[in-house]
Structure 1
Amino acid sequence: MFSAETPRIFALPPGADFPAELVGGLITRMADQPPQAMARVTLYLNTARMARRVRDLFASHGAGFLPRLRLLGDLAQDPSLGLPPLVSPLRRRLQMAELIAKLLDAQPDLAPRAALYDLADSLANLMDEMQGEGVSTETITALDVSSHSKHWERTQTFLRIVAPLFSDATDAEARQRLAVQQCAQRWQAAPPDDPILIAGSTGSRGTTALLMQAVAALPQGAVILPGFDFDTPGSVWQAMDDALTAEDHPQYRFRHLMDLLQINPTEIKPWRDTAPPDPDRNRLISLSLRPAPVTDQWLVEGPDLPDLAAATANLTLIEAASPRAEALAIALVLREAAENGVKAALITPDRNLTRQVAAALDRWAILPDDSAGRPLALSAPGRFLRHTAALLGQRLTADALLTILKHPLTASGTTRGPHLLLTRYLEMKLRKTGPAFPTAPDLLEWAAARSDDALPWAQFLATTLQNLDQIPHQPLADHVAQHRALSEALARGLDPAGSGALWEKAAGIAALELMETLAAEAPYGGSFSAAEYHDLFEALVNKGEVREPVQGHPNIMIWGTLEARVQGADLVILGGLNDGIWPKLPEPDPWLNRAMRKKAALLLPERQIGLSAHDYQQAIAAPRVIVSRATRNAEAETVPSRWLNRLMNLMEGLPQKNGKQALGQMRARGNHWLALARALEQPMPEQTADPRLQPAKRPAPQPPVAARPPKLSLTNIERLIRDPYAIYARYILRLNPLDPLHQTPDARDRGIIVHEVLERFVKTRPPNETRAEARIRLLDLARIVLAEDTPFPAARALWLAKLDRAADHFLTQDSKHQGTALALETQGALKLDGLDFTLFGTPDRIDRLPDGRLHLIDYKTGTAPKAAQQKQYAKQLLLAAVMADRGGFADLGPSDVAKISYIGLGSGEDVVETDITDAILTEHWEKLLALIARYLRRSTGYTARRALFETRHAGDYDHLSRFGEWEMSDRAAPEAVGEPE
């Protein structure tokens, strides 16, 4: 095949369809050979996708022999090399985790225990890299770190300890390097006569570069590089001699390879004389990607560029306002491509963006061919196993229980229907009355009180979930076995055997493989706590992927950045071009800093940026390209990718080449798709006119008088004044708000606890008690009540501390007026004269003063209402005074009221006292009559959020009144509801 001297390095430019040109060039070179000669060609490729496409391309040329297609990563699988057996990467990481756990025990300040597996993973990756680059542990430990912090000295010491684990070539990278070395020695001793080619790799890994060096030296060996920039001047190649400044350049890997082969750029020849889709655009991109500093090169070479409007005619820029808008615009582009039969690919490292695009395409029943599959952690079995792992070692909460019970894989056998029905009933119970931390006796007590078949189901749950919070520190194998048993039991439900649908379909098979692999390697993992096992499992499941056996659209693809080398698409979309996404920021290395990596001849963090830049340079050279980004994410404004930023800055600085005009045209083409995306989500004209689709008006329902509540409590009068719609929903529609699924201690709970403590304090007061004794008794009662009624330990400690701070203020107010607390046997009630309505309720405390009059007291855990607030809406004690004056408290009879007091028990010593007069009582009695009479007329509507203290106040029924579609400044829209009178 070849007659020129070695080394033979060929290349194809960015934008070329690399597999197609590779196959075409190979067929051309073998045209004068007999057909069977092709079968003697060995072709090493870098990815399985590349190999599939090469095979398909050969098939498209008709019947004939195929070359021997091999993957670079499969070289170590050759049995003739006699390599030692491979050690599982998981086993190696578990061994690392055990050693790092001992390190953290000795030096707890190094890292938190939660980072145990992440540290093990990063250390294993470092050792893989060292093996791949041929760097020994002795090289690391011999580095001079005297000018660095003590942390790096500890790293050296620890690496010396773990070095024996890697003494034999049983890891993947070590076996691969040993295989390459043996092949190179074999070829050097007896060079093969048949052609051996390596195609599609950039040689970024040391082991791969070593193989490329060996192949290039063979009599019939050659290397074909992807995306080689033939437009890069010699001066730029020469300037890329320092990795510290040039590692992030897309062509740096080729400069490094040329140094290994001792050749210059002019010795790299085109594999085939085929021009890229747009040579002028390639020149523009090449200049924009020059290594820093580049401004002088832009000034010198920029005027030599062709007209930029023509060079970017097939380049579109989408700058969306949000990731959602970006995804929808991309989906519209792909939809048009599918409709017109255009082969299109979305290339991005942002998996969130690809999921959003796939979801948007689903509205048109377009299923893209996604090269990455779906994350195992987001599949149904993955989520289920994550939920069950989270139960281990934790006290069971109501929300965690319902989360697992509602999962589609729980009781996924024959009892799924009854299980869902009982789960619904249990949820209603837990939301209404709790408890926040349900136990086995709680479940059995609830089920025993029911008349259906809940008891066997509750017994199953009680048995399965008992004692999960008491899991000890135990061997990893025991954790895995317990986790699997728990998961299978919950998935089985009440069925006598099996594991439901947990291990079914592709995702279930992948999840089962993960559990079995973890169980097989668990003996190498040492002992774990339940929390550490949960962290380990989360890390493992997040690395898994599921490839569903579905047939995607033949022309619509979603690729990772590596697939940019495969090409073959007429339209390429580069999505998520923001810094931090593309390129991704380098991962922090806890083991070696940048300077140490440079001294040890390891890869610098900028290597990944350089590889991403090379993928970008190849992808943006496709026949038709759309680059997209979101100008803002959920948190803040975003920064354009450094490559896109360079391109726009270069074009802005070349007005003589129509750079600004070309950039404006790119944006205009992108705005077209953004406008379509906005139009897609706008109602059609006929929908706009549909009254059912109009925003709701501020409701003020007018139910029949007979349906209106005949009685209200003192506290609900304030609600009737401020938010009448809440009274309508609660007492007319009879809609009671449920507690949130995730129960947390809130202000209402604290208020109930404080009132209970103070009520017990007053009722159990002994005679002749001193203030010091009273304070001690108050806090003792608080501890008892909190232990009985508050299941949250943090809340108990916090609320007890707050009550301790407020105790002196309470005791001062308690003895201030020398009143005697009265105990009432019945609740107070007062029927309004001439109206079919009853006011009821009782203040927190009623004292009999020495002069025989009453003192009404209400405790507030927040701020006490001021006089102006009491006048407008906070009328609880004022109306209670009216009730007492008119005999509303049967135990007391008509009584004179001297004063009312709101005592705040919050952060300050807050108290608001009001002396009661006949004028005040008369005024509020008349206002109460007027208010109730008004709401006993059909024409009066229950207006939503009528007079709230602040707009941001959240009501229990805001969603029902559709607040948000109307504003607080909107007029109410009264509407008669119910039967006409």
Structure 2
Amino acid sequence: MADISRIFTIPFHQAFADSLVAGLIDRYKPMELARGLILLPNNRSVRAITEAFVRRSSSGLLLPRMVPVGDPFLDERLGAFLDPVDLTDPFPPAITPLDRHFRLTRLVKKAMKQQGKEISPSESHRLAEDLGLTLDQLIAAEIDPAALSTLIDPLAEEELAKHWQSSLNLLECIITDWPQELANTGQIEMQDRRNKLLDRLTERWQKQPPKGPVIAAGAITGSPVSARLLRVISVLESGLIVLPGLDLTMSEEEWALLGPHERDPDTGIKQPSLESHPQFQLKLLLERMGIARNEVALWPYENKKMVHKERSLAISHAMAPARYTNQWLNLSEQERSFPDVSIVEAAHPEEEAQIIAIALRQAIEKPGVTAALVTPDRTLAIRVSALLTRFGIQADDSAGRPLSLTPPGMLLLDIISAAADHFSAVSFLVVAKHPFVAFSEERALWREHIRALDMVLRGPQLKIGLAGISQKIAQEIDKKRADPNLLSWWESVKTAFLALDNRHQEILPLAELIRLLRETGQTLAGDKLWSGPDGRMAADLITELEQLAIHHKELMSFADFGRILRQLMDKQAVRPVSGGHPRIFIWGLIEARLQHADLMIAASLNEGIWPPISDADPWLAPRIRSELGLPGLDLRIGIAAHDFASILGAGRILLTRARRDARAPTIASRFWLRLEAMTGGLPKAAELPYYAKMLDEPKIFKPALRPAPKPPVPDRPKRIAVTRFDSLQADPYSYYASNILRLRRLDPVDAAPTVAWRGSLIHSILEDWVKKDNADPKKLQTRALNIWGDINSHIIQKILGTPRLLQAINWIEQQIQQMTEEGRSIVKVEQYGKCLIEGIELFGWVDRIDRLSDGSLALVDYKTGQPPSSKSVTSGDNLQLGLLALIIEQGGIPSIEGHVQAFEYWSMAQNKNKQAGYKISVLGGKQAISPEAFLNFTEKRFSEVIQSYLLGNAAFTARPYRGKKLYDDYVQLMRFDEWRANPQHKVIGS
């Protein structure tokens, strides 16, 4: 039995780091402590204990050596101190993680090929990553991978589904080849080397105990080799073990229920362990050490941050196994209460982040008070950190940020993405707008050029490749819509991307892909790309990949390379250097595991985040893992539960969650629900959502008035297009914004084809058909198919648009053949005309003018969507055709003589029979009116409107008529939502 005075636990209601340090300083003399050694779980634990020593020893202290032991089940590494280089019998070096990853990838692809399966490079890398974790766990648990073969046949035939049988067979093939692959490198597994080093240390301390104190602190899990080391420390005269949050109040019945359990000798059934319980891993560790729970004593030293001891008891009740939750009914109010714990449910993550930022800022109003946000959600942590800058607070996320989310990592991934996307306008602009990119120019000048290019590239998706961008620039310059100097600048910039252009479908060697990426990044961003902690990490990763690519001659596309590089970057965290606020912290779960602040905010308490989702092992079925003795898939849930319980031991606690995320409603964490159920409901910090709401509210809110600008008459336009008249009469403010302020809505980059774009396409086809093919019906379809070679459009638009276009063209061809037989002929297409009415120039383009058999004229306007109804035309809401007829009647098109007798819309939309094409004669049917009467009505309406708005001083009022609006381009500018509900703003017709 171990000496009971050498194994302790610090309960949840005491801050572990501060209590541990307080006890060590009290227990040992300064020089004795300085010669000591403290074994801790990981590097971040070392930092937490170091900071606790600094807080405790204001007069100065020689610190003991602190070394991370690491937990292989949590992908943690062994400290360098425990891996000496001066051994007389050194172990072989460990294979680097990246080299191992690529070798496993090659074996995965080989085994897949042997089974007749082909997988993409990115999928093989993903499987290799999961395989590496599985092998690490087998080695850490001291399970010979070869033992897997003894389980395959009996289990595969009886209990496993076919896909698990396939995975097992595949794994057996890889495990068979892996030892020889590893031996060829002269290296060993990192976890195998860790086991050997710890076993050697265990043997040395058994034979020759260290002279100074040896303290093992903070372990909540432990592999068998770690447990053996801790067992030896527990019997050393100078040894000491301090566990965090071991529950000594739990009944023996509950403790036994946790597991692990032996197989029933009669039934052969093995009861599952409660791995999701916060005490399970500690129980497993004690059993591996051969120590009973009653041998562990409470740490007899206290600290200033401790709360009342009843808090630990309440935590124990809240985390009770499900079978014992009915006992909550028998608890007194004090036993199930959590004083100073409150909750906030936000509507969405943005509000949650704002609430947390306010709570942190509020906490430090009192001098000396510390506050910490604890969350496994790195996105939320980034949001809170950004919001705190509003209060002048710089709070660094000590858990770090994945390399893929840092500026260097994002630029490298964006370059690959652009190459894989064949330099679409969007993907290129993402690279060009990166803050590191300047291409040897001054950053301000580069931004000017990119903004000009951004304006040029807006609109429907272009042809793929850099050539599509070049063509679009030239087209905009020809139309006088871009600076001519932009093209010469672009031709210079384009050289940086030529090596990547037109290679998006190529399968290239890994070494070539890395070279292209490195050189392009260097050309665009220079040394800034590789500067700072994140830049240096990116440079190290690229350098290591280049070295590995010499031996691993893997072939892949840019798209696969991008996915693989992102996987690698996601695993590397860039942690901030010191310099954040001294009293506000943002911690991950590991950082919070051993320390408390005065206010602890546990955030993102939703299922799938805290606790995380139990990711399935693609290689080993749960039954196989159980038979082998590996930890179950709920391992991380149990650890997350222990972390949550540790936070509940702090003084003041705020628990937060968002009711929905970016995709769907969320489910509250099981930990949240347990507390709510046991306590009957925790108090809500209702003031925080109110503060968050009021933070951006003006002191006095005065809604905007309906805009009604009245520019001076001399400043009003003296000409108007037929296409703008309907806007002027229906929504004068929109006309004012468009034609007087000259504001235009910006199209998105790589936009979907709009109705206007499709209309221009149809007009161009028909115009060329009439002018170049003399309206020969046999040549119309050919003309339509050839249009795609003449326009700067993405191939996908041709693929998707051609069938619909041909349907419309065939309908037009049939209609023209029919009208030709009736004696009707095309006179003009795309014809410009103008006339002067009351001093205002009216101008516009006619899509088509036909000569009818009686010598009169017909006006045709093409529509790709639904045309205006006859009622809307004859009522005066849509007078485009009538105004064009006025131009003709007044000689506005000199080459055209005659009177307009027919007004038609030819629509390419589907008709009642779901076929493309139909036409509307706007003066027929129920709305029958003579052409002469229609023209008189049109002229009268035109005169009234221009007398009010262009020749008079009428205000350009926003939306004056109920139900009459054409477009929503200026809704935000007119602040429509602010004034539309105001009863004082009555509209005509209400």
Do they superpose with TM above 0.5?
A: yes
Question: Aligning the two structures, in what range does the TM-score lie when normalised by the shorter sequence?
Answer: 0.7 to 0.9
CA contact (8 A) 1:327 1:356 kept: yes
CA distance in 2, matches of 1:539, 1:970: 57
Instruction: Call closer, same or farther: CA 1:263–1:545 in 2, change over 3 Å.
Output: closer
Give the TM-score normalised by the residue count of structure 2: 0.86
User: Are 1:463 and 2:495 counterparts?
Assistant: yes
CA contact (8 A) 1:76 1:83 kept: no
Deviation track 1:392-415 (CA, whole Å, cap 9, x = no partner) reads: 244223333333333221227563
CA positional deviation for 1:232: 1.1
Partner of 1:159: 171
The Cα RMSD (Å) is 3.3
Partner of 2:349: 323
- The equivalent position to 1:335 in structure 2, one of 339, 353, 361, is 361
- The equivalent position to 1:122 in structure 2, one of 130, 137, 141, is 130
- The equivalent position to 2:881 in structure 1, one of 877, 883, 893, is 877
CA contact (8 A) 1:750 1:861 kept: yes
Instruction: Call closer, same or farther: CA 1:161–1:852 in 2, change over 3 Å.
Output: same
User: Are 1:384 and 2:411 counterparts?
Assistant: yes
CA distance in 2, matches of 1:324, 1:241: 41
Partner of 2:620: 592
User: Superposed, which structure 2 residues align to 1:300-699 within 5 Å?
Assistant: 302-304=330-332, 306=334, 311-340=337-366, 341-411=368-438, 415-431=442-458, 438-439=466-467, 442=471, 457-471=489-503, 472-491=506-525, 499-525=526-552, 526-652=554-680, 663=682, 666-667=683-684, 670-684=685-699, 688=700, 694-699=702-707
Partner of 1:180: 198
Partner of 1:786: 788
CA distance in 1, matches of 2:816, 2:343: 72
Deviation track 1:251-307 (CA, whole Å, cap 9, x = no partner) reads: 0112212332344322222232659522223222211211223333323xx335636
The AA in structure 1 aligned to 2:845 is: T
CA contact (8 A) 1:42 1:70 kept: yes
Partner of 1:281: 311
CA positional deviation for 1:183: 2.7
- The equivalent position to 2:908 in structure 1, one of 904, 907, 912, is 904
Give the TM-score normalised by the residue count of structure 1: 0.87
Partner of 1:171: 189
CA distance in 2, matches of 1:98, 1:722: 68
Deviation track 1:158-201 (CA, whole Å, cap 9, x = no partner) reads: 32333243556623222212222333344455555765331101
CA contact (8 A) 2:438 2:524 kept: yes
Deviation track 1:113-132 (CA, whole Å, cap 9, x = no partner) reads: 55343333222222222222
Instruction: Call closer, same or farther: CA 1:523–1:971 in 2, change over 3 Å.
Output: farther
CA positional deviation for 1:44: 0.7
- The equivalent position to 2:842 in structure 1, one of 830, 839, 845, is 839
CA contact (8 A) 2:500 2:516 kept: no
CA positional deviation for 1:891: 1.4
User: Are 1:86 and 2:116 counterparts?
Assistant: no
Deviation track 1:859-889 (CA, whole Å, cap 9, x = no partner) reads: 2211222222323422222333344444443
CA positional deviation for 1:677: 2.6
CA contact (8 A) 2:881 2:903 kept: no
Deviation track 1:612-671 (CA, whole Å, cap 9, x = no partner) reads: 00000011111222222223333433222101101111122xxxxxxx6xx3xx21xx11
Partner of 1:731: 739
Partner of 1:805: 807
CA positional deviation for 1:514: 2.4
CA distance in 2, matches of 1:177, 1:887: 97
CA distance in 2, matches of 1:172, 1:957: 63
CA distance in 2, matches of 1:824, 1:245: 81
CA positional deviation for 1:782: 1.6
Question: After alignment, is 88-97 or 631-640 more displaced?
Answer: 631-640
Q: What SS does structure 1 have at the residue aligned with 2:846?
A: coil
CA positional deviation for 1:36: 4.9
Q: What SS does structure 1 have at the residue aligned with 2:286?
A: helix
CA distance in 1, matches of 2:20, 2:61: 17
CA distance in 2, matches of 1:930, 1:185: 103
Deviation track 1:913-970 (CA, whole Å, cap 9, x = no partner) reads: 234532223222222222222223443222334558688x763333433343333777
- The equivalent position to 2:66 in structure 1, one of 48, 66, 69, is 69
CA distance in 2, matches of 1:950, 1:110: 59
CA positional deviation for 1:524: 4.2
Instruction: Call closer, same or farther: CA 1:209–1:867 in 2, change over 3 Å.
Output: farther
CA distance in 2, matches of 1:950, 1:230: 75
CA positional deviation for 1:417: 3.9
Partner of 1:978: none
Instruction: Call closer, same or farther: CA 1:550–1:414 in 2, change over 3 Å.
Output: farther
CA distance in 2, matches of 1:281, 1:63: 33
Deviation track 1:511-561 (CA, whole Å, cap 9, x = no partner) reads: 222222222222344222111111122222333333343411222111111
CA contact (8 A) 2:108 2:174 kept: no
Q: What SS does structure 1 have at the residue aligned with 2:604?
A: coil
User: Superposed, which structure 2 residues align to 1:202-351 within 5 Å?
Assistant: 202-216=220-234, 218=236, 220-242=238-260, 244-272=272-300, 274=302, 277-299=307-329, 302-304=330-332, 306=334, 311-340=337-366, 341-351=368-378
CA contact (8 A) 1:141 1:159 kept: no
CA positional deviation for 1:726: 2.8
Percent identity reads: 30
Partner of 1:17: 15
User: Are 1:890 and 2:890 counterparts?
Assistant: no
CA contact (8 A) 1:399 1:742 kept: yes
CA distance in 1, matches of 2:617, 2:808: 50
The AA in structure 2 aligned to 1:939 is: N
CA contact (8 A) 1:854 1:897 kept: yes
CA positional deviation for 1:694: 3.5
Partner of 1:495: none
Unpaired stretches in structure 1, ≥5 consecutive residues = 492-498, 653-659, 975-981
CA contact (8 A) 2:721 2:842 kept: yes
Partner of 2:265: none
Deviation track 1:766-822 (CA, whole Å, cap 9, x = no partner) reads: 79x7xxxx4x64332221002211421111111111123334433333234332111
User: Are 1:45 and 2:30 counterparts?
Assistant: no
CA contact (8 A) 2:34 2:64 kept: yes
CA distance in 1, matches of 2:643, 2:657: 17
Question: After alignment, is 795-804 or 107-116 more displaced?
Answer: 107-116
CA distance in 1, matches of 2:939, 2:225: 92
The AA in structure 2 aligned to 1:942 is: F
Number of residues paired by the alignment? 929
Partner of 1:814: 816
Question: After alignment, is 350-359 or 201-210 more displaced?
Answer: 201-210
Instruction: Call closer, same or farther: CA 1:288–1:871 in 2, change over 3 Å.
Output: farther
Deviation track 1:834-874 (CA, whole Å, cap 9, x = no partner) reads: x1112222332222122222222222211222222323422
Partner of 2:140: 132
CA positional deviation for 1:715: 1.9
Question: After alignment, is 437-446 or 844-853 more displaced?
Answer: 437-446
The AA in structure 2 aligned to 1:830 is: C
Unpaired stretches in structure 2, ≥5 consecutive residues = 70-77, 262-271, 925-929
Partner of 2:975: 962
CA distance in 2, matches of 1:109, 1:751: 48
Instruction: Call closer, same or farther: CA 1:52–1:923 in 2, change over 3 Å.
Output: closer
Question: After alignment, is 404-413 or 350-359 more displaced?
Answer: 404-413
Partner of 2:156: 145
Instruction: Call closer, same or farther: CA 1:441–1:314 in 2, change over 3 Å.
Output: closer
Q: What SS does structure 2 have at the residue aligned with 1:255?
A: helix
CA distance in 2, matches of 1:45, 1:576: 28
